[in-house]
Amino acid sequence: MAKKGKIKISSENMMPIIKKWLYSDKDIFLREIVANGIDAMTKHKKLVDMGEAEKEDGEYKIVVTVDEKAKTLTVEDNGIGMTAEEVEKYITQIAFSGAEDFLQKYEKASGDGIIGHFGLGFYSAYMVSNSVEIYTKSYKDEPAVKWESDGNSTYTISETEKVERGTKIVMHIADGEEDFLKEFTIKELLRKYCSFMPFNIYLNPKGDDTDKPLNNTLPLYLKDPKECTEEEYKNFYRETFADYNEPLFWIHLNMEYPFRLKGILYFPQVKKTQVQLEKGQVKLYCNQVFIADNIKEVIPEFLMLLNGVIDCPDIPLNVSRSFLQNDKQVQKISKHITKKVADKLTSLFNNDKERFENCWKDIATFIKFGCVKENEFYEKVQNIIIFKNLNGEYKPLQDFFGEEVGDEEAEKGAQPKAVYYVSDEVQQAQYIAMFKDAGLDAIVCDTYIDPHFISFIEYKNPKKCRFVRIDADIDGALKSEESVKEEEVKELVETFKKYLANEKITVKADKFKSGKLPAVINVDEFMRRMSEMGGFYGMNETDPTEHATLVLNLTNPVVLGFLKLTEEKQRIVASQIYYLAMLSYKKLAPEELSDFVDKSMEMLFGYTK
């Protein structure tokens, strides 16, 4: 006959697991113990508000005491306290949560502020302690209780002398964990995990006017945004992130439905020496208890470039209160944060364009990265993406797009409008001058993400734009309207090419509107991108100039008179025209630079004869 029964878990087997695997970091134990004290005071305050407990004078507070000589760390609260029966129920039965039991009992009256969920936080103390003592007195008229255990399967419980309501936990710090007996270490841990807890926390108080709480019980993000001043936002930023550069602007999150969420996200300035945006710090809290930095389930990856504080009481945590359970609620929170950031940026663009443009250099990489990473973000901000043009004026990127190319037109070979861009204003100065002379415009791509971003924009708008670097082709608007006959340039091209050391380069000739430059280098856009992509992914990067074309300018007097020169002068002039064109495209290789100097000296020497 089959027999049914319940699986029993032995504390002898549970304790090693709790000590080693429950928490990702040992120092979290202090957060858990202090959070339990905060819970106890929150419960008592609610009972007072409901008339089920007597109000007493004095502030609710946590007192943390470090005694290096006695090797103890003590955390004491003046909260609800426990009776002997409650100690047996909540402490000796692992994973039975007092907070959960309290919430069930007072469900309608107490929906906020209780931190604990699983009843395991207390046992985190054994990660750093040989033994732990609890001294507790309930708000009820019952004797005070002492509980003690070395963290194995046994404990002792007895009556004790304790006059004041609340709970004192004394941790006897284990050998090898002496760092937790240093006041500085404990102060830093309290600041890290408990900075915004709702009741004052004191460390080694002297009992006089010099005692100052370590935490801010009413952080700015909990206030109504309408009541916050600009100076308060800046001060909160400096104090929280130790960054004395003023933030560009910020977003105050404040909602109650369909989930509770409060916080402030700051857009930091980019340091002058900073090539790429550094990862920011978005601190995640649950009921003012610090959980972790940059939790990817809640904070979209691109928002981790910001600094900020987010507090979400409805966030689903696992038993160690360290990691999030991935569920639909978390996804909703993440999407809402993304939406609020996009709304703020759009509002700034629409209502204060000058400020938006002044901030663009600092926020451009963030926005572009966000577009590539989050499609919903791109859909909301695509109309506010701006670029500088050749005159240094900001224009929306979409202003450079053309009309959408229809399927029938595409079948006939029609291409979307070319959006010309500059990637190096100094190196490509000659090309920029040609474009300006011809009345053409281009966008300036000056952030490290731009090569990837323009590919992304092409993917999103395949029928409206294609990006072409300013040195990739001689656009029709740069060419003279006069036609060029092939037989007129054949001899020039063939003669010119035989004097070039670079045998791979293609040579052709065309008539430019301007006769200033004798020649330019063009490199096919697709081939150059493929080469750059190979280098980015660690493959052997090919030299893009292997696919380059040297375009001789038939309106330039030097080129026009080239065939009339002696062979010796043709040799020198051809080389100099090639090197001058190449210098406008990239730096010369050492051997090329040496040859350029030698040919220049020959030319100068020839003029002195």
Q: How far is residue 517's CA from residue 531's CA, in Å, rounded to a whole number?
A: 27
pLDDT more than 90, % of the chain: 49
Q: Which domain CATH number covers 500?
A: 1.20.120.790
- Comparing 277 with 229, the larger pLDDT belongs to 229
Is the pLDDT confidence value at 411 over 50?
yes
Vertex 499: Cα angle to 495 and 505 (nearest 5) = 90
My answer on whether 456 and 392 are in the same domain is yes
pLDDT bin (cut points 50, 70, 90) of residue 198 is very high
My answer on whether 524 and 408 are in the same domain is no
Phi, psi at 304, each rounded to 5°: -70, -5
Is the pLDDT confidence value at 333 over 90?
no
- Comparing 147 with 102, the larger pLDDT belongs to 147
Which amino acid is present at 442?
A
Q: How far is residue 595's CA from residue 591's CA, in Å, rounded to a whole number?
A: 6
Is the pLDDT confidence value at 5 over 50?
no
In-domain check, residue 43: yes
Looking at residue 352, its pLDDT comes to 94
The number of helix segments (H) and strand segments (E) in the chain equals 17, 20
Q: Which helix (H) or strand (E) holds 389?
A: strand 386-389
Looking at residue 117, its pLDDT comes to 40
Q: Comparing 90-104, 170-184, 416-430, 475-489, which segment has the lowest mean pLDDT? A: 90-104
Looking at residue 44, its pLDDT comes to 95
Is the pLDDT confidence value at 48 over 70?
yes
My answer on whether 66 and 169 are in the same domain is yes
My answer on whether 15 and 114 are in the same domain is yes
Which CA distances in Å does 255 have to 79, 267, 315, 331, 460?
29, 20, 14, 16, 33
In-domain check, residue 152: yes
Compute the average pLDDT of residues 374-402.
95
My answer on whether 173 and 291 are in the same domain is no
Q: Comparing 368-382, 439-453, 473-487, which segment has the lowest mean pLDDT? A: 473-487
Looking at residue 115, its pLDDT comes to 41
Domain-ending residue, one of 470, 499, 521:
470
Q: What is the DSSP string of 336-355?
A: HHHHHHHHHHHHHHHH-HHH
Taking Cα atoms as reference points, which of 401, 400, 470 lies closest to residue 434?
470
In-domain check, residue 477: no
Q: Which domain CATH number covers 394?
A: 3.40.50
Is the pLDDT confidence value at 42 over 60?
yes
Looking at residue 400, its pLDDT comes to 93
| Orientation angle between helical segments 590-608 and 567-583, nearest 10 degrees | 130
Q: Which helix (H) or strand (E) holds 231?
A: helix 230-241
Q: Comparing 22-31, 114-123, 312-321, 459-468, which segment has the lowest mean pLDDT? A: 114-123
Is the pLDDT confidence value at 318 over 70?
no
Compute the average pLDDT of residues 68-76.
97
Q: How many structural domains compose the chain?
A: 4
Vertex 67: Cα angle to 87 and 194 (nearest 5) = 65
Is the pLDDT confidence value at 484 over 50?
yes
Looking at residue 9, its pLDDT comes to 47
Residue 375 CB neighbour total at 10 angstroms = 10
CB-based contact 133:147 (threshold 8 Å): yes
Q: How far is residue 420's CA from residue 468's CA, in Å, rounded to a whole number?
A: 5
pLDDT more than 70, % of the chain: 85
Q: What is the DSSP string of 141-177?
A: SS-EEEEEE-SSS--EEEEE---SSEEEEEEEEPTT-
pLDDT bin (cut points 50, 70, 90) of residue 154 is confident
Looking at residue 38, its pLDDT comes to 94
My answer on whether 302 and 397 are in the same domain is no
Question: What percent helix, strand, coil does the chain show, rounded to 5?
Answer: 40, 20, 40
- Comparing 526 with 252, the larger pLDDT belongs to 252
My answer on whether 164 and 26 are in the same domain is yes
Is the pLDDT confidence value at 536 over 70?
no
Q: Quick check: helix, strand or coil at residue 398? A: helix
pLDDT bin (cut points 50, 70, 90) of residue 2 is low
Q: DSSP code of 220? A: G
In-domain check, residue 378: no
Which amino acid is present at 315?
I
Compute the average pLDDT of residues 96-101.
51
Q: What is the pLDDT of residues 79-92, one digit of tens each?
A: 999 999 999 888 87
Task: Extract the tokens encoding 577.
Answer: 């025209």
Residues β-bridged to residue 201: 62
My answer on whether 289 and 404 are in the same domain is no
My answer on whether 46 and 120 are in the same domain is yes
Looking at residue 334, its pLDDT comes to 84
Is the pLDDT confidence value at 26 over 90?
no
My answer on whether 456 and 329 are in the same domain is no
In-domain check, residue 476: no
My answer on whether 197 and 236 are in the same domain is no
Q: Which domain CATH number covers 186?
A: 3.30.565.10
Q: What is the mean pLDDT of the chain?
A: 84
Q: What is the DSSP string of 167-218?
A: EEEEEEEPTT-GGGG-HHHHHHHHHHHHTT-SSEEEES--SSTT---SS-SS
pLDDT bin (cut points 50, 70, 90) of residue 113 is very low
3-state secondary structure 544-566: HHHHEEEEEECCCHHHHCHHHCC
My answer on whether 61 and 164 are in the same domain is yes
In-domain check, residue 210: no
Question: Please, what sign has the CA dihedral across residues 361, 373, 304, 279?
Answer: negative
Q: How far is residue 148's CA from residue 73's CA, in Å, rounded to a whole number?
A: 15
In-domain check, residue 211: no
Q: Which domain CATH number covers 313?
A: 3.30.230.80
Looking at residue 106, its pLDDT comes to 52
Compute the average pLDDT of residues 396-406.
91
Residues β-bridged to residue 250: 266
Question: Please, what sign has the CA dihedral across residues 171, 122, 241, 274?
Answer: positive
Taking Cα atoms as reference points, which of 245, 237, 230, 242 lies closest to residue 263?
237
Q: Quick check: helix, strand or coil at residue 449? A: coil
Q: What is the DSSP string of 54-96?
A: ---SS--EEEEEEETTTTEEEEEE-SS---HHHHHHHTSSTT-
State which residues form the domain around 54. Answer: 11-203
Q: What is the pLDDT of residues 343-354, one digit of tens each?
A: 999 999 999 999
Looking at residue 23, its pLDDT comes to 57
Which amino acid is present at 550?
L
Q: How far is residue 410's CA from residue 10's CA, in Å, rounded to a whole number?
A: 73
Looking at residue 140, its pLDDT comes to 92
Task: Extract the tokens encoding 12.
Answer: 């002898």
pLDDT bin (cut points 50, 70, 90) of residue 209 is confident
Domain-ending residue, one of 203, 230, 247:
203
Is the pLDDT confidence value at 19 over 90?
no
In-domain check, residue 575: yes
Q: Quick check: helix, strand or coil at residue 412? A: coil
Is the pLDDT confidence value at 272 over 90?
no
